[in-house]
Amino acid sequence: MTQILRGTALLLLIMAAPALAAGPLPAPAAGAQVPAAGMPAAATPTGRVVTLPEALATALSRQPQLASARAQTEAAAARAHQARAAFAPQVSTSLGYSRSTANGTAKVGSYSFLSNSTDMYNNFSYGLTASYLLYDFGATENQYQAARAAIDAQKEGEKTTALAIALSVRSAYYTARAARTMVAVAREALSNQERHLKQIQSFVSVGMRPPIDLYQARTDVANARADLITAENNYETAKATLNQAMGIEGGTDFDVSDDPAPPVQGEDGMTEPLLDEALKARPEFAALAAQAKAKELSLKAVTAGYWPTVGLSGSYTGSGEELGETGWNFGLGVTATWSLYKGGLTQAQSAELLAGIRDINAQVDSMRQGVRLEIEQARLAVRAAKASLAATADAVAAARETLRLAEGRYGAGVGNILELSDAQLVLTRAEAAAVSAEYNLSSARARLLKALGRAETAGQ
């Protein structure tokens, strides 16, 4: 009777094993996003979810690098105000008091008279002076206009910083999104391995499989659990990096949304139209143009030093032993100051500015080449990532089918544990490759946005 029961149980296990091994995964919860290409669905967030537009907006308001760039713009504006101050009258006043002796000498004919005494007397003095620049052949005006051009350059520098910050946030965000998906991949792998372990325990307990299969299954479960811990740690690290990119100090008790990077307009087009757009939109070019203008105006200001400066001056002064009894004087005058020789200073300053202008022109040429390379690399990376994404989708589907067949073969007794373990490993690697391909596509689109100088803050 015992042999009959054991045989019946064995027969039932053999018949049921393929269905048990290849049983479907639990259906996703209501409202959960169903991943494409057979990828495992990430767990539905239960707490705060950070979207890409929210991350970008946070960075633009909290990132210290952008605050520093804004402060530099304010400093440039202050320097322009300093240069403009030379157009206004310059007024100063003074008030003094001293107490001293009044000894002296006097000479009448061949006789000299000395007056030495320790008596001391008060002396009060005051003065008010004013000066006004009448004409300096454009030196002050060009200095002021150069300072204003420097403001424009710094404002474009702010935009450059904002674009760099946006790229950093997008890269960190897509890294976190990929890490979140890898957690789902690791969880699915662990779930599969635990399911295999239960089935193998049943097979070994009735003598269908050798005990070594059970140890191999336990090893696979332990490795899958370690992989899940690593994936979860990587996700937490990626969120911490995203916090830094956003410019905030806080915990990682949030999830990133699962929205993929949408296509970039023109990503499938040719390089030349994209380059034309980038040359007009990239703030670095506008900044260099403003810097060149500032140097040209500074050059005019320096060369004006070859000519005289004409100004108007006035003064009102008074002095006396008693504060209420002082003698006063006032005067007006026109002065012309002409530096005839400065030891070659003006020529050297002019040469420096001319060299700076040539340097900026060279930077423009180099940057144009660099932007072309950025666009080419990003455009080609987008194309390659699209092709890779399609290929990995096929690989995931094939790996899932391979695992299903391996589970069926093992359950039917014609496969071995190594074949089953290898099939699970192949699926996990295929899913990881799919995650990597999607990340590469998102990252390439982020770099293309930056290369084109587009300042989108929503979803891209």
Q: Which domain holds residue 167?
A: 11-20+36-90+136-309+342-452
Please check whether residue 400 is in contact with residue 427, taking contact to mean a CB–CB distance below 8 angstroms.
yes
Lowest-pLDDT range of 9-13, 67-71, 345-349, 394-398: 9-13
> Mean of the pLDDT values across residues 391-416?
92
Q: What is the dihedral of CA 37, 43, 47, 53, to 10 degrees?
A: -10
Instruction: Out of 34-43, 187-196, 345-354, 424-433, pick the least confident.
Output: 34-43
Q: Which of 29-43, 87-101, 193-207, 291-305 has the lowest mean pLDDT?
A: 29-43
Please give the average per-residue pLDDT across 337-365, as a whole number.
Answer: 94
- Give the separation between CA 178 and CA 234, rounded to whole angstroms: 10
Which residues neighbour 102 within 8 Å (Cβ) at sequence distance 6 or greater? 115, 117, 119, 121
Q: How many CB atoms lie within 10 A of CB 350?
A: 17
CATH number of the domain within which 244 lies: 1.20.1600.10
Res 36: pLDDT = 46
In this prediction, what percent of the chain has a pLDDT beyond 90? 74
Query: How many residues belong to the chain?
Result: 460
Residue (of 27, 56, 322) closest to 166 by Cα position: 56
**3-state class (DSSP) for residue 73:** helix
With 70 as the cut, is the pLDDT of residue 105 above it? yes
Average pLDDT on 251-258 reads: 93
Q: Would you state the pLDDT for residue 11?
A: 31
Neighbours of 192 (CB within 10 A): 22
Rounded Cα distance between 206 and 203, Å, is 6
Distance CA 291, CA 357 (A): 8
Sign of the Cα torsion 391, 395, 401, 402 reads positive
Give residue 117's pLDDT.
81
51-83: buried (b, 16+ CB within 10 Å) or exposed (e) per residue?
Answer: ebeebbebbbeebeebeebeeebeebbebbeeb
**Range name among 32-41, 176-185, 297-306, 411-420 with the lowest pLDDT average:** 32-41
426 assigned to some structural domain: yes
386-413 CB burial, b ≥16 within 10 A, e <16: bebbeebbebbeebbebbbbbbbbbbee
* pLDDT tens digits, one per residue of 284-336: 999 999 999 999 999 999 999 899 999 999 999 999 888 778 888 999 999 99
Closest CA to 170 of 55, 256, 332: 55
State mean pLDDT over 88-114. Answer: 82
For the cut 90, the answer to whether the pLDDT of residue 30 exceeds it is no
The position carrying tokens 């992989």 is 227
With respect to residue 125, please indicate whether it lies within any of the assigned structural domains.
Answer: no
189 pLDDT higher than 80: yes
| Mean pLDDT, rounded, of the chain | 87
**DSSP label of 261:** P
Angle between helices 139-205 and 283-303 (to 10 degrees): 160
Considering the domain boundaries, does residue 335 fall inside one?
A: no
Residue-level pLDDT at 184? 94
| Span 341-357, average pLDDT | 93
| Mean pLDDT for the stretch of residues 162-177 | 96
What's the rounded mean pLDDT across residues 408-427? Answer: 90
CA dihedral of 78, 81, 86, 91, whole degrees rounded to 10: -90
Residue 330 lies in a domain: no
Residue-level pLDDT at 14: 30
> What stretches of 247-344 show up as alpha helix (H) in DSSP?
271-281, 283-303
Question: pLDDT band at 395, cuts 50/70/90?
Answer: very high
Let me know if residue 31 belongs to a domain.
no
Kindly report the pTM of this predicted structure. 0.79
3-23 residue pLDDT tens: 333 333 333 333 333 333 333
Which of 15-19, 152-156, 184-188, 336-340 is predicted least confidently?
15-19
Domain count, the chain: 1
pLDDT at 5: 33
The answer to whether 424 and 405 have CB atoms below 8 angstroms apart is: no
Q: Express the helix, strand and coil content of the chain in percent, nearest 5 each.
A: 65, 15, 20
DSSP string, 108-163: ETTEEEEE----EEEEEEEEEEEEEEEE-TTHHHHHHHHHHHHHHHHHHHHHHHHH
Rounded Cα distance between 141 and 25, Å, is 76
Domain assignment present for residue 102? The answer is no
pLDDT band at residue 451 under the 50/70/90 scheme = very high
Which of 33, 74, 38, 92 has the alpha carbon at shortest distance from 260? 33
Model confidence at 34, pLDDT cuts 50, 70, 90, reads very low
Residue from 92, 93, 94, 91 nearest 132 by CA: 91
Which pLDDT score is estimated for 69? Answer: 94
Interval 41-86: pLDDT, tens? 665 555 789 999 999 999 999 999 999 999 999 999 999 999 999 9
For the segment 420-426, the average pLDDT, to the nearest whole number, is 92
- Listing DSSP states for 5-68 in one string gives HHHHHHHHHHHHHHHHHTPPPPPPPTTPPPPGGGPPPPPPP-SEEE-HHHHHHHHHHH-HHHHH
| 108 assigned to some structural domain | no
Q: Is residue 397 part of a domain?
A: yes
C-beta separation of 317 from 127 below 8 A: yes
Taking phi over 0 as left and psi of -120 to 50 as alpha, with beta for the rest, 266 belongs to left
